[in-house]
Amino acid sequence: MSAEGSPILDGLKAALLTLRSLGAAASSLIESRTDMLIEFERREIARAVRIFALSMAAVVFVCAATGFAALAILFAAGEAHRVAAAVGIAAAFGVLALLAIRLTGAK
């Protein structure tokens, strides 16, 4: 019996070729899914950076607006009620700070 004509070797060769093609298909699928995951993570990181930058800009504008509002209240109160206005502003900021702490769920 010759080795090339054996049905067992032909079957083994076909099985190995099938395994190789299945491995290539699985590798291609894994590679494409990995590329999709990497691209998704890049988009999410870019989105998070954009949200963070816009949030920081909003913080700066809110702080400026708050400062101008406090100055306006102090000027509007005049000399006679300047201390009362300052206490009112401090109390308002205290209430806002407590509200912010409560909304974040911090304990």
Q: Does residue 106 have a pLDDT over 80?
A: no
pLDDT tens digits along 25-44: 999 999 999 999 999 999 99
- Residue 93's SS3 state is helix
The per-residue DSSP string of 35-68 comes to HHHHHHHHHHHHHHHHHHHHHHHHHHHHHHHHHH
Q: Does residue 12 have a pLDDT over 80?
A: yes
Smallest Cα–Cα separation from 84: which of 74, 70, 94?
74
Domain coordinates in residue numbering, the chain: 7-104
pTM for this predicted structure: 0.56
State residue 26 phi and psi, 5-degree precision. Answer: -65, -40
Average pLDDT over residues 83-101: 88
